[in-house]
Amino acid sequence: MRIQSLRKKLLQDRNFKSYGPMILSASPSVAELFATIGYSHILVDMEHSPLDISKTVEMLRAIDSVSSGYVPIHNTPIVRAPSHDDVAMTKRILDVLKPPSGIMFPMIETAEQAEKAVASTRYPPHYRENSGIRGCAHPFVRASSYGSDEDYFPLHSNQDLLTILQVESEAAIENIPEIGMVEGVDAIFLGPFDISCSVNQVGEFGATSDVMQLIRHAERLVRETDDRKRDLASQSTRKEYPNGLILGGFRPPLRSLQEMFSTEVGYQFICGSVDLGLLRKAAYSDLAESQQ
């Protein structure tokens, strides 16, 4: 049964919300367990984890495994690339990542970097003026079910891939209006810890802190850019391509999901937990209970 991609759900319905964890442990067992919980998406991290591409395939297979059986559960795997400018690694990630799915690029600072990142995800005919730079081996890779998905090249490889760019510094925040308008950028994902580090106030997330004011400024810029992008899309004849700009991010400490998902703030895509953090919290709780 064909399911609607997370990309299309988010872009076609501003009220649709996606919540999920990030996996840093590089454990396929954790990935499989998380896939049974019912999260909308699961972020597999290659930036700060020990994952290489062969282990990433194991993680993706573990997530995909729960989509069959007596109680199938559909999750959208998102892979965070190690960097935004490693074209060869991006190609390898996409060749093992079955759609519907997503890819996230860290540390985007400028619109030029955004354009190069998006171009690395697209086959030449699928990006403006034939400028996609993804290498073409689609009949022989996992992403196309080794050629069985005949719609992979013309449709699924681009229309069902959620392309997420991380904005993680004060300087990058000011460039959101230009970064967000780049063709093919589906989401801006705010990294609160790196943002706080960029202004030398690491982890200071109090409601009135300079860091939170900067994050709220970034959120406003994403909302405004989303409006501009949708206005332009309404004038386009390419109606098969939903367009807009999704606001996403990690959940900072002390901030409620209810506030982030509210209409006023406008998040649609949030990673609110990390597998190792959840395990540590459970372990401390387990130890504390033994000492009562």
Query: Looking at the annotation, which residues are catalytic?
Result: 48
Number of Cβ atoms within 10 Å of the Cβ of 288: 9
What does the alpha-carbon distance between residue 96 and residue 81 come to, in Å, rounded to a whole number? 13
- Is there a contact between 259 and 269 (Cβ–Cβ < 8 Å)? no
Q: Which regions of 160-236 does DSSP assign to beta strands (E)?
A: 161-167, 187-190
What does the alpha-carbon distance between residue 113 and residue 128 come to, in Å, rounded to a whole number? 16
Phi, psi (rounded to 5 degrees) for 31: -60, -45
Q: Angle at which helices 53-64 and 28-35 pack, to 10 degrees?
A: 30
Name the residue with tokens 């069959």: 68
- Is there a contact between 52 and 58 (Cβ–Cβ < 8 Å)? no
